[in-house]
Amino acid sequence: MISFVLKRIVVSVVLLWAVATFTFLLLQLMPGDPAAIILGGQGTPAQLAHVRTELGLNRPLFVQYGSWLGRVVHGDLGHSVISGQSVISILNQRAPVTVSLAVAGVLVSLVIGVVLGVLAAVRGGWVDRTVRLVTAAGVALPNFWLGALLVVIFSVWLRLLPAVGYASFVSAPLSWVRDMVLPVAAIAAASVAGIARQTRVSMLAALQSEYVQTLRGVGLPMRSIIYKHALRNASIPIVTIVGLLFVGLLGGAVLVEQVFALPGLGQETVQAIANHDIPVLQGLVIYTTLIVLVVNLMIDLAYAWLNPKVRYS
Amino acid sequence: MRLAKKVVIAVALAAMASTLAACSSGSTATTSAVASKHTTLTIGAPSGPNGLDPYNCGNGPEGNILRSGYDTLIRAAPNGTFQPSLALSWGYTSPTSFSMKLRPGVRFSDGTPMNSAAVVGNLERASKTLGQITAAFAQAVQSVTAVDPADVTIMLSKPNPDLTTILSSCAGMIVSPELLAQSSQMTNTMDGTGPYKYDASASTPGSIYTFQRKATYWNAAAYPFHTVVYKIITDFNTEFDAIRSGELDFAVGTPGEMSSATAAGLAFVQGSINFYAVDLRDREGTKVPALNNVLVRQALNYAIDRTAIIKTFFGSIGRPTDQLLNVHAPGYDVALNDSYPYDPTKAKQLLAEAGYPNGFTLPVLSTQGFELDQILQAVGGYWAKIGVKVQDEVQQIGNWEVFLISNEYPSAIFPFSGLPPYTAFAQSFGPDGPLDPFHTVNPAVDSALSQAAAATSASTMAPFITSAQKVLLNQAWYAGVGYDAVIWFYNPKVVNGIQMQQGESVPHFYNWKVPS
């Protein structure tokens, strides 16, 4: 297991470098001039040239890359060209919002999705049909549209929940829950559908397998068969999906954060693109990639724990 | 117990718990909201500052956030005049010399007295920090001197009659010398003479900015609210939902929301900030020979139905006009407002007279932001009827700003927004204007702008601005469409006395009242 983890870490570092380099090069192709954006179209050509020199944009590309990579290796992602704030501090400030949104989304999706999937597989009939219909709607509805609809119903009409705002979980957990109900509902709708459907399929396969028939023949209680044996085996593909879902939720957070004015990485991404703030964009990609790599590693470890047949040489 | 019952009970318990949490938090918020209803003002803003450094602000809502902590040297009144702030009096002693007398007895949050040395330090920084808000100042200033603890003199390298306007913007905000010496801290810290102190513990940069009123502010009567909270909400629909649900007391709106807002008991203030026009910059005809002919440029003006376009985009509160100057701006002349009434027949006649009976193709630089491209397409529809085909060259905003100062495109649509009249004219039509990349020379325009630059007051500058405007219209240097409409909704039970600021997109947070 240790050698497996070490190998994954080495691969992750190489992958991170490749993503970072590719992003650096891709962002150089991004149209626009940070100097023009900083001066808002009111600068003279001399002033624009001065700002470009200050930002180091007049240096050859390979020099810019080398300088940037050297700083990244030492944990310095540079500074925002617009605010001057360190990129690391910007991302550290905003990451908890997005990560908490994504984690809450995954947990809610997992709980509700597994419950619905088990219900559909075990009960069948109208329960199964209803679950499939509801989950189809969940997949079809865009999360930003659903978010806007939830705001109108629960904030404007019923005045039950806030339309905007974010309180830190650490400092105000109840307020955090209150502020995150609608965003999590919006972002998790499609994920619930995906997990419910996968759970249903996996459970059906597990319940029809020979070992379950054997357990039934032996006289084991159905509850024990479902939760102790069938669900455990059915959860292996679910765990795989959870990893993919987390990555998807991180991306989906961009739109949901805009709708609910959450100060997360998604909101920062939109602002950085509009401002042509390349250091922040580069930092965002590296930061997000790192989060994804860590989550995938944790998923793989969970996978191994669930399925002893998986071997890591 | 059967599985289904367990699941139902579990879900019901979860729902009860979250509802209790929501209600209890909501109850607390409501209770505290009732208790502090008239002491806390919650303001929505579609954009926030890029850090708390005043020189990072543009002309948008972020200005109010910074104004809560920082005073400017001069205050711009809603009607376009200027009032004392940190400077009690000011004026040009010559076209290249500007003096100010400072208000005594004012202190920064850290207790340091505000004096000429502090002002000089700030303005010297403004002259060296190139940003959107400081570029004009940096271009004009030569030196800043503290004559004595209460008097400051600014020497200009060339005449600039807009210094009063510049010093009433974020470029004129005064930061405490101690914070100025650690300018890298200014992104997250504020220390000014303004009415409120920034409460970092209750703020989340980029999302929420909270301010607590200072007990010792020199103009406390103008700020009755003890606490001001700014919430950055970039989505207009979300911001509107938030003010309707009572989470905001003041928020930006759109013309289409007015009936819903009124039904929800909200009031509004409106103004106009952006003048939309197609700048016909290739007047020498180097890329499009047709633009060299004044009859062609006049034809393009006659062909536009401004009233229809403005009404479509901004409803009845937009203002169709071909005069670039806004109402109350020095030099504004109401007689110039309809210099080219909609007349497609006359437009075709002029084109034929100019030798273009079948029209021509005109590339126009555009971008997706600020509804520019949509308005260009509307204008293009009218020009198509007289045979002029618009080649819509849409660029992403970053590229658009670069191309605006290049001579790549013979024409461009952009909003002449929020600049004082001399600066707007000089930048777009002056001999060295960065926004006139083809450097068209017109002796009458250049002479009028030179005389405007040498003026030492708005009243002496005005006739020259009017003169320049007349020439620009007569020679049809641009094809104007009109002014947009900016609307801000507010809850009249929580706040009133709000006035729209002349030439700006947001009312200044100043002298807002608690309803009696």
* Residue in this structure with the two tokens 């904030």, named with its chain if needed: A155
Distance CA B61, CA B67 (A): 10
Instruction: Write out the DSSP string of A184-217.
Output: HHHHHHHHHHHHHHHHHHHHHHHHTSHHHHHHHH
Predicted TM-score of the model (pTM):
0.79
Q: Name the residue among B58, B232, B402 with its Cβ closest to that of A40.
A: B58
Distance CA B274, CA B452 (A): 22
3 state DSSP class of B491 = coil
Contact by Cβ (8 Å): B46, B239? yes
Average model confidence (pLDDT) across chain A? 83
Q: Minimal Cα–Cα distance from B348 to chain A, Å?
A: 35
Q: Which helix (H) or strand (E) holds B27?
A: helix B3-35
Distance CA A201, CA A118 (A): 9
Q: Name the residue among A31, A40, A270 with its Cβ closest to that of B399.
A: A31
Residue A45 at interface with chain B, using a CB cutoff of 8 Å: yes
Helices vs strands, H then E, count in chain B: 16, 19
Q: Which pLDDT score, from 0 to 100, does residue B20 have?
A: 40
Q: Which pLDDT score, from 0 to 100, does residue A44 have?
A: 64
Give the other-Cβ count within 10 Å of B479's Cβ.
Answer: 27
- The encoded tokens of residue B226 equal 């003890």
Q: Which pLDDT score, from 0 to 100, does residue B7 have?
A: 45
pLDDT at A128 over 60: yes
Distance CA B245, CA B242 (A): 5
Q: How many residues are recorded in chain B?
A: 516
Q: Residue B397: its chain A contacts at CB < 8 A?
A: 32, 37, 274
Contact yes or no for A44 and B139 at CB 8 A: yes
Contact by Cβ (8 Å): B104, B150? yes
Contact by Cβ (8 Å): B142, B156? yes
* Residue in this structure with the two tokens 């013309």, named with its chain if needed: B255
pLDDT at A243 over 70: yes
Residue A257 sits at the vertex; the CA angle it makes with A255 and A261, to the nearest 5 degrees, is 130
Q: How would you write the pLDDT of chain B (516 residues) with one tens digit per residue?
A: 444 444 444 444 444 444 443 333 333 333 334 334 458 999 999 888 878 988 877 667 888 999 999 999 999 998 888 999 999 999 999 999 999 999 999 999 988 999 999 999 999 998 887 666 677 787 788 999 999 999 999 999 988 888 998 899 888 999 999 999 988 788 889 999 999 999 998 888 778 899 999 988 999 889 999 999 999 888 888 899 999 999 999 999 888 888 899 999 999 998 878 899 999 999 999 999 999 999 999 999 999 999 999 999 988 888 999 999 988 788 999 999 999 999 999 999 999 999 999 999 999 999 987 789 999 999 999 999 999 999 999 987 767 877 888 889 999 998 887 678 888 898 889 888 888 889 888 999 999 999 998 888 888 899 999 999 999 999 999 999 999 888 999 999 999 999 988 777 889 999 899 988
Distance CA B443, CA B446 (A): 5
B29 to chain A: closest CA residue: A175
Amino acid at B138: A
Q: Minimal Cα–Cα distance from A16 to chain B, Å?
A: 28
Q: Name the residue among A39, A259, A276 with its Cβ closest to that of B238.
A: A259
Distance CA B324, CA B184 (A): 39
Supply φ then ψ for residue B271, to 5 degrees: -160, 180
Choose between B193 and A90: higher pLDDT: B193
Q: Which pLDDT score, from 0 to 100, does residue B15 have?
A: 44
The average pLDDT across A125-145 equals 87
Residue A178 at interface with chain B, using a CB cutoff of 8 Å: yes
* Residue in this structure with the two tokens 């290049």, named with its chain if needed: B406
Q: Name the residue among B133, B247, B398 with its Cβ closest to that of A163.
A: B247
3 state DSSP class of B304 = coil
Q: Which pLDDT score, from 0 to 100, does residue A309 have?
A: 65
- Could you report the predicted ipTM of this complex, rounded to two decimals? 0.74
3 state DSSP class of A283 = helix
3 state DSSP class of B310 = helix
B333: Cβ contacts below 8 Å, ≥ 6 apart: B323, B325, B466, B469, B470
Q: Minimal Cα–Cα distance from A5 to chain B, Å?
A: 37
3 state DSSP class of A44 = coil
Contact yes or no for A164 and B208 at CB 8 A: no
3-state helix, strand, coil in chain A (%, to 5): 80, 0, 20
Give the other-Cβ count within 10 Å of B73's Cβ.
Answer: 26
- The encoded tokens of residue B400 equal 């658009």
Instruction: For chain A, positions 56-95, list CB contacts with chain B under 8 A.
Output: 80, 82-85, 93-94
A164 to chain B: closest CA residue: B242
Q: Which residues pair with B279 in a beta bridge?
A: B412, B478
How far from B483 is each of B299, B327, B336, B399, B416, CA to CA, in Å?
21, 10, 14, 25, 9
Looking at beta carbons, which pairs linking A269-273 to residues 24 or more positions away fall under 8 Å?
A270/B234, A271/B206, A272/A80
B121, B122, B127, B132 alpha-carbon torsion, rounded to 10°: 160
Residue ranges of domains in chain A, CATH in brackets: 2-73 (no CATH), 94-312 (1.10.3720.10)
Closest CA to B231 of A274, A166, A159: A166
pLDDT digits (tens, 9 = 90+) for A178-196: 999 999 999 888 889 888 9
pLDDT at A202 over 80: yes
State whether the Cα torsion B69-B231-B418-B262 is positive or negative.
Answer: negative
Contact yes or no for A156 and B51 at CB 8 A: no
Mutate to test the interface with A, among B5, B158, B204 (most CBs of A within 10 A): B204
* Residue in this structure with the two tokens 């003890």, named with its chain if needed: B226
Contact yes or no for A83 and B235 at CB 8 A: no
Q: Which residues pair with A279 in a beta bridge?
A: none
Q: Residue A98: its chain B contacts at CB < 8 A?
A: none
Instruction: For chain A, positions 94-133, list CB contacts with chain B under 8 A.
Output: 94, 115, 119, 122-123
Contact by Cβ (8 Å): B453, B347? no
Instruction: Write out the DSSP string of B236-301.
Output: HHHHHHHHHTTS-SEEEE-GGGHHHHHHTT-EEEEE--EEEEEE---TT-SS-GGGG-HHHHHHHH
Q: Name the residue among A40, A83, A115 with its Cβ closest to that of B7.
A: A115
Q: Which pLDDT score, from 0 to 100, does residue B471 have?
A: 96
3 state DSSP class of A246 = helix
3 state DSSP class of B57 = coil
Residue B57 sits at the vertex; the CA angle it makes with B55 and B62, to the nearest 5 degrees, is 145
Give the other-Cβ count within 10 Å of B332's Cβ.
Answer: 19
Residue A264 at interface with chain B, using a CB cutoff of 8 Å: no
Share of chain A above pLDDT 90, in %: 12
Query: What's the pLDDT band for A39 if we cut at 50, 70, 90?
Result: low
pLDDT at A298 over 70: yes
How far from B463 is each of A253, A302, B193, B469, CA to CA, in Å?
55, 78, 37, 10
Q: Which residues pair with B363 in a beta bridge?
A: B391
Distance CA A281, CA A287 (A): 10
Closest CA to A256 of A98, A107, A91, A96: A98
- The encoded tokens of residue B333 equal 């002349």
Q: Minimal Cα–Cα distance from B11 to chain A, Å?
A: 9
